[in-house]
Amino acid sequence: MNSEFGPRHLLSDAVATATMSPIEARMLFRSGMVTPTAGWAAGYAQANLIIVPKTQAFDMLLFAQRNPKPCPILGVFDAGQTSGPLLAEGDIRTDLPRYTVYVDGEVVAEPTDISGYWRTDLVTFIVGCSFTFEAALQEGGIRIAHIDQGTNAPMYRTSIRCRPAGSISGPLVVSMRPIPASQVADAVRITSRYPAVHGAPVHVGSPAELGIADLDHPDFGDPVEIAAGEVPVFWACGVTPQAAVMESKPWLAIGQAPGHMLITDARDSSYLV
């Protein structure tokens, strides 16, 4: 369990962070504030980040295209670009609260600013995040256990392999939410309308078939309780590109730190089909 996943109720001013604009939030992070971003800038899409050198960029983009449920690409910056359409007046090097830097697949740093790692050949990929469909689930009357419990969603490496692309390969990572049996169909229906942010679940029930031996020990995030009458429902997870980086070992890659997402200018609703 990672201490970075701070409970939401400990945020100093939950109301103010929820009503903040994306650019206001990014400016705070740029000026040094470090916090998980769940609940910030409500209504705006938060996103995963994966940055690789241009020499790896075709393979990473193709990996995402071949695995659109875990890796839904919302935007790609040209090599060296530090801002773009989803990030007005932004700087991808400073505007997330915390990053994870990988060298040869190993985590070498978790800085709050990646200016020191920046290179003009780096290509930035912005990848959809389940926060968008969690808001829709809550609006649909479905409680999210990890939000109620003030933790990050439990995430698991599965035994399912992503379709490889050139030098990039890795396992499908899933997030799990316990859903009351009477609401599983609603959860499928609601999330299926957000294909750009992981869409419908990849699996309902039977964690063993995903190669998950113990739901109480997630590979990322925090365990949640599954109440009687609830079914574990699994969605493809945007941590998948980072799991692929750990396995495929490009010489350099940078992602967000878990739970410390990019807050984009896109509205959650823009990803509803």
Q: Which positions lie near a second copy, rule CB under 8 A? A: 57-58, 61-62, 65-66, 73, 75-76, 78, 166, 192-193, 195-196, 199-200, 273
Residue 252 has what DSSP assignment? -
- Give the chain's radius of gyration (CA, Å): 17
Q: In terms of CB distance, is 2 or 83 closer to a second copy?
A: 83
DSSP string, 111-176: -S--GGG--TTEEEEEEE-THHHHHHHHHTT---HHHHTTSPPPEEEEEEEPPPBTTB--EEEEEE
Min dist. Cβ of residue 134 to a second copy (A): 18
Place of tokens 């009351």: 180
Q: In terms of CB distance, is 124 or 152 closer to a second copy?
A: 124
Q: In terms of CB distance, is 155 or 165 closer to a second copy?
A: 165
Residue 213 has what DSSP assignment? -
Neighbour tally for 38: CB within 10 Å: 23
Min dist. Cβ of residue 123 to a second copy (A): 9
- Of 227, 206, 103, the C-alpha closest to 158 is 206
- Is the Cβ–Cβ distance between 81 and 125 less than 8 Å? no
CB-based contacts of 270, cutoff 8 Å, min separation 6? 45
Question: Cα separations (Å) of 93 from 52, 61, 178?
Answer: 13, 20, 35
Q: In terms of CB distance, is 119 or 189 closer to a second copy?
A: 189
Q: In terms of CB distance, is 34 or 79 closer to a second copy?
A: 79
Min dist. Cβ of residue 79 to a second copy (A): 9
C-alpha 175/C-alpha 156 separation (Å) is 6
Min dist. Cβ of residue 240 to a second copy (A): 17
Q: In terms of CB distance, is 6 or 75 closer to a second copy?
A: 75
Min dist. Cβ of residue 147 to a second copy (A): 25
Q: In terms of CB distance, is 21 or 65 closer to a second copy?
A: 65
Min dist. Cβ of residue 85 to a second copy (A): 8
Min dist. Cβ of residue 5 to a second copy (A): 31
Burial class from Cβ neighbours inside 10 Å (0-12, 13-18, 19+) for residue 169 reads middle
